[in-house]
Amino acid sequence: MNRSVRLAVFAAAAVGTAAWWRRLSNVDDPKDGSVAARSRTQRNLVLAGAATKVGGAWAADRARRVFADAERRAELDEAFQLRTAEQVAETLGNLKGAMMKLGQMVSYLDQGMPEPVRDALAQLQQDAPPMAPELAAQVITEELGAPPAEVFAEWDPVPIAAASIGQVHRAMTHDGRAVAVKVQYPGVDVAIEGDLDNAGMLFTTMKYMFPGLDPKPLVAELRERITEELDYRIEADNQRLFADYYRDHPFIHVPDVIDGLGSRRVITTELVAGARFSEVTSWPVSERDRVGEIIYRFVFGSLYRLGAFNGDPHPGNYIFGADGRVSFLDYGLVKRFTPEELLPFEQMIDAAVINPDRARFRRIVEGVGLIKPGLDFTDEQVERYFGHFYEFVKDDEARTFDAEYASEMVARFFDTSSEHAEIMKAANVPQSMVIIQRINLGLMAVLGELGATARWREISEEIWPWVGAEPRTELGRAEAEWRRRTGRGRAVVERDPSPVTASGS
């Protein structure tokens, strides 16, 4: 079976199997699309049932292969992979919450999946089964004090998107603005609390595979970020931060939040029109390269010049406008960094790329807690494993992100049969790195699907404030002019990280 399909099946099966050990009351399956009516136990039983179906199908597939020739075996494998992906996608989509997020991540992280499998799971990137219109109206009434027909001049009861925590409706304000209204699924907070408990059990189980992993800070960071995501008031504040920062930007757009039409479970923003990511992947190469550079600049420009990181990079959160701008959606999962928290990232880049020094790179890696000091690995092994993130910026050559690179990135974290197995088992993900790792994996997968090509070192040296190189691309020059005109885009803190690194750690 394809390694990436094994990863998807393992993730669903492990969560489902762990769920059998939870002991809470059971209730009937909800028929209105709500999450409240489904208890933690029922969610667990649904997951366990999915795992059982996958296991049974796998056993049947193995039996059929016994007397099959090579061609027939390939057909059986493809059919099994597709059935498995469809079962997992349907199960996670109906459960919503953190489990659907798991499916979203699996769907875009590994470009090595067979196309039918990725197509099945990719449905989770844009749409999930919606809740009943009456239920969405009830949430609006409870949160905003009146039904949608009164709060808005126009209200479309059919959602334009349904995702893991809420669904989005098109509406018109009384002053004539077209808006997107995100409504949270009733009870999703309770469901996610249970999912996070199960995630804790999963990561604890993973410690047997990865002895160096400390699951507690990892789960704590995920719990903190995802719990914040449940409060749309926090999301509104995050989105205002990004929208104000990128206002009037030549190619990056963040929709404005509409004041007075939001609450803990409702957020109203400017409605954005444009192409979806699935359409963009068939655009001409030059246009895909341009889009890839924009996404890259948004991710790392936000980190190093705004000190904030949007940690939900899946393709459903990008809208590609006819004016050439890319709109970035969904600010529920945002991590803000202080200058002190950014320093280790800058130091690792300096030691791996700008002033290469394997011994210094290892000291930094040990200092942030990615591996324990004194382990029996050479500096070269440490640099080869953790330095893979920087391969595409280690020289000035044009590099193309492709399926192989994205798959290799994932394999370094999950494939214990690889050449990096021993150091992988010793590696840890400290709390400060959890969201960074998610965005790294997600971004590389997105760029890999685009097949984006650029001189990433040149672009990065312009983005990295401690280097501050002159822009060498059309987009870079446009952004530099925007920074000059608005005064925005300066570094979170101006400094040279290398002397600090050399004397520290």
| 101-112 confidence digits (pLDDT tens) | 554 555 444 444
Residue 454 β-bridge partners: 399
25 pLDDT above the threshold of 70? no
Distance set, CA 243 to CA 327, 345, 399 (Å): 10, 25, 31
**Range from 37-41, 417-421, 444-448 that averages highest in pLDDT:** 444-448
141 pLDDT above the threshold of 50? yes
Task: Return d(Cα 106, Cα 93) in angstroms, integer.
Answer: 13
Average pLDDT over residues 17-40: 42
Residue 257 β-bridge partners: 269
The SS3 of residue 183 is strand
Average pLDDT over residues 108-133: 56
387 pLDDT above the threshold of 80? yes
301 pLDDT above the threshold of 90? yes
Residue showing tokens 């290892």: 362
Task: Return d(Cα 391, Cα 73) in angstroms, integer.
Answer: 37
Two structure tokens written together for 402 = 């492709």
Task: Return d(Cα 31, Cα 34) in angstroms, integer.
Answer: 8
Which of residues 45 and 303 earns the better pLDDT score? 303
388 pLDDT above the threshold of 80? yes
What lies within 8 Å, CB to CB, of 228 at 6+ separation is 234, 332, 333, 334
Two structure tokens written together for 320 = 């590609």
Percent of the chain with pLDDT strictly greater than 70: 65
The SS3 of residue 472 is coil
pLDDT tens-place string over residues 209-218: 567 666 677 7
Task: Return d(Cα 273, Cα 275) in angstroms, integer.
Answer: 7
Number of CB atoms found within 10 A of residue 468's CB: 12
CB 134 within 8 A of CB 140: no
| Pairing between β-strand 308-310 and β-strand 318-320 as defined by DSSP bridges | unpaired
Q: Can you list the alpha helix ranges (DSSP code H) found in 207-231? A: 215-229
Average pLDDT over residues 457-461: 97
Closest CA to 486 of 239, 237, 244: 244
The SS3 of residue 248 is coil
Strands of 351-443 (E only): list them.
399-400
178 pLDDT above the threshold of 80? yes
Q: CA geometry: angle at 410 spanning 214 and 83, to 5°?
A: 110
| Pairing between β-strand 308-310 and β-strand 178-184 as defined by DSSP bridges | unpaired
Closest CA to 354 of 468, 504, 184, 201: 468
Average pLDDT over residues 260-280: 97
pLDDT at 437: 76
**Banded model confidence at residue 346, pLDDT cuts 50, 70, 90:** very high
CB 327 within 8 A of CB 272: yes
Based on the number of CB atoms within 10 Å of its own CB, is 320 exposed (0-12), middle (13-18) or buried (19 or more)?
A: buried
Element (H, E) at 79: helix 70-95
Average pLDDT over residues 309-319: 83
Sign of the alpha-carbon torsion through 94, 99, 100, 106: negative
Task: Return d(Cα 237, Cα 107) in angstroms, integer.
Answer: 29
Residue 275 β-bridge partners: 320
**Banded model confidence at residue 389, pLDDT cuts 50, 70, 90:** confident
The overall average pLDDT reported for the chain is 78
Furthest CA-CA distance within the chain: 71
284 pLDDT above the threshold of 80? yes
What secondary structure, in 3-state letters, does 10-69 show? HHHHHHHHHHCCCCCCCCCCCCCCCCCCCCHHHHHHHHHHHHHHHHHHHHHHHHHHCCCC
| Pairing between β-strand 178-184 and β-strand 166-172 as defined by DSSP bridges | antiparallel
**Range from 50-59, 67-76, 108-117, 119-128 that averages highest in pLDDT:** 67-76
Strands of 321-372 (E only): list them.
326-328, 334-336
**Lowest mean per-residue pLDDT among 337-341, 388-392, 408-412, 477-481:** 408-412
Q: Name the DSSP class of 354.
A: I
Task: Return d(Cα 415, Cα 104) in angstroms, integer.
Answer: 19
Backbone φ and ψ of 26, nearest 5°: -110, 150
Two structure tokens written together for 178 = 């077209």
